[in-house]
Structure 1
Amino acid sequence: MSLSVLAEERKMCILEWLEREGKVMVVPLAAHLDVSTETVRRDMAALEKEGLLKRVYGGAIKPTFRTDEAPYSMRQKVNFEEKRAIGRMAAEMIQDGSTIAIDEGTTPLELARAIQGRKRLTVLTNSLPAAVCLLESLSQDKFSGKVILLGGEVNPEQQAANGPLSERIAREFRVDQAFLSVGGITLTHGITDYDLNEASMSRTLAEAAQEVIVLADRSKIGISTFAHMLPIEQADVIVTDAPCPADWTAALEEKGVLWVQAPVKEDS
């Protein structure tokens, strides 16, 4: 195994600890990974440059404002069981005969994987991995219906089409439900994303939908990212693996936003 692969595995471990605990300390992490404290500090410095953590004395904490997103391949591995649980819960909200839109991102991909047993479903997506997954499911008769890939310029890092052409195509449709990936959710700044084009595409899908369902694992809660997507009250449902923060409950009820916590199966 190459040193670069080992370094990526260490970074993944640091991020997983950080999402679980909210803070990581250098010394116990070095002992867990069986590496020097200097190695851990170098990994943390690299992750800080990517905007994924903030170094503090003796360790690191989660940033409260993020301007850059981890690569798609890395995000697929972080909080995987939580994302799968969210995908399963969201799939239960889909009815036979519905027309739905599935956004780009790793959590919507888990939704695409979870769709089974539905009939006469029409699915729009700008995500290449989601489209491939859905087509495989159709060929295996996991559900019936059709898949429409929203075209346009493809972002190779996010494996999705977005930008003005994609939005123009998306505006041709009306859907029952839009399932959206986000970068962060706060009461103050609403729903945000890392990339302007991604945020604009998600906003376009939301405008086309009768019901907007936000998919967000616990790492997105309380985080603000670079690009504004939607005011929080424009979400009808937030599906996450985290309990609703106590100080959010009254505000969400007032805004008419339903918080749904997906149960995570440890033996999944």
Structure 2
Amino acid sequence: MSLLAEERKKIILEELDTQGKVQVLALAEQLQVSSETIRRDLDTLVKTEKIKRVYGGAVKISYDDGEPPYQERQIINRDAKMAIGKQASLLIEDGNTIFLDTGTTILEFARFIEGKRGLTIVTNSLPTASLLKESLSQGLFRGKLIILGGEISPDQQSVSGYLCEEMLKNFHVDKAFLSVGGVSIHTGISDYDLNESVISKIATNQSKEVIVLADHSKIGVQSFSHIADLNMIDVIISDKKLPASWSAKLEQNEVTWIAT
């Protein structure tokens, strides 16, 4: 395959990161090739499971029927999630109060919480709470662990609902770590589960600093339920390098991008 074709596909993926969708005719004009050439490029990218074809173009892969159950998601892009989690753990300081949401990247992040004192950790994730309980018992860190109450979702291994929301509103935290379904340069962060996104939205409002953990598959994706605009986010940690077309918008909104 020619270098030219590889360059075209790179540009297509960058455009998807920025816009979330591409059109065949617009790409053909932009790259000065035929529409048929662009269609072949898109078909090749479909085979790599990076995009999905739609009428007249393509969109970035997302979960059409909602996210898979928690246990299935744990093995998806796990190396990337571990790297992101390790990087995120460097942002924790002694005495911090932090919120951790229900994402699988958050579970990997929790594995790296150690050596800190005076932490207060609030979470609505059952697996994360269980892991942190063991870490506390083993003396890997010192502090308090608070699990929010409410309705339990067996599939997502999370707690949500009215009771959970009201309980969270009573807390003010230094840092909220969110593992989201999508990060869009236009619409900010979003998730697939409505109940969990409401909890994440409250946590965003109750936190001094919002840190988003998102592997490459989440960048450029707009999922079902909106959580917050970019101006509510302080840091994005990803295994993907900052898309060049995002730089100005992130700088305008004072968002720091950390690549693992």
Which interval holds the TM-score relative to the shorter structure? 0.7 to 0.9
2:180 is matched with 182
**Per-residue deviation, 1:82:** 0.5
Alignment of 1:58-97 (within 5 A): 62-63=60-61, 66=64, 68-97=66-95
CA contact (8 A) 2:46 2:52 kept: no
Q: Which residue of 2 aligns with 1:151?
A: 149
CA distance in 2, matches of 1:216, 1:122: 23
Tell me whether 1:211 sits opposite 2:209 in the alignment: yes
Cα deviation 1:174-216 (Å, max 9, x = unaligned): 1100001111011112111101111110001111110000111
Alignment match, 2:140: 142
Is 2:134 aligned against 1:132? no
TM-superposed deviation, 1:165: 1.1
- Larger deviation: 120-129 or 64-73? 64-73
Q: TM-score, normalised by structure 1?
A: 0.75
Tell me, yes or no, if the aligned pair for 2:180 and 2:214 is still in contact at 8 Å: yes
Cα distance 1:64–1:132, how it changes in 2: closer, same or farther (>3 A)?
A: closer
TM-aligned CA distance change 1:68 to 1:95, over 3 Å = same
| CA contact 2:60–2:220 (8 Å) conserved in 1 | no
Deviation of 1:61 (Å)? 7.7
Query: What is the CA distance between 1:249 and its match in structure 2?
Result: 0.4
Structure 2 residue runs of 5 or longer lacking an equivalent are 1-43
**Alignment equivalent of 1:259, drawn from 236, 257, 260:** 257
With normalisation by structure 2, the TM-score equals 0.78
Q: Secondary structure at the match of 1:169?
A: helix
Taking the aligned partners of 1:66 and 1:93, their CA distance within structure 2 comes to: 33
Instruction: Tell me whether 1:220 sits opposite 2:218 in the alignment.
Output: yes
Partner of 1:9: none
**Deviation, structure 1 residue 164:** 1.4
Where does the alignment leave 5 or more consecutive residues of structure 1 unmatched? 1-21, 30-43, 45-51, 263-268
Structure 1 residue 99 and structure 2 residue 112: aligned?
no
Per the alignment, do residues 168 and 162 of structure 1 end up closer, same or farther by CA in structure 2, a change over 3 Å counting?
A: same
Distance in 2, matches of 1:123 and 1:84, equals 20
Structure 2 match to 1:23: 45
Matched residue, 1:123: 121
Q: Which amino acid aligns with 1:123?
A: I
* Count of equivalent residues: 214
Q: Percent identity?
A: 49
1:75 & 1:65 partners in 2: Cα distance? 11
1:111 paired residue number: 109
- Which segments of structure 1 move beyond 6 Å, counting only runs of 4 or more? none
Deviations 1:69-92 (A, max 9, x none): 122111100110100111111111
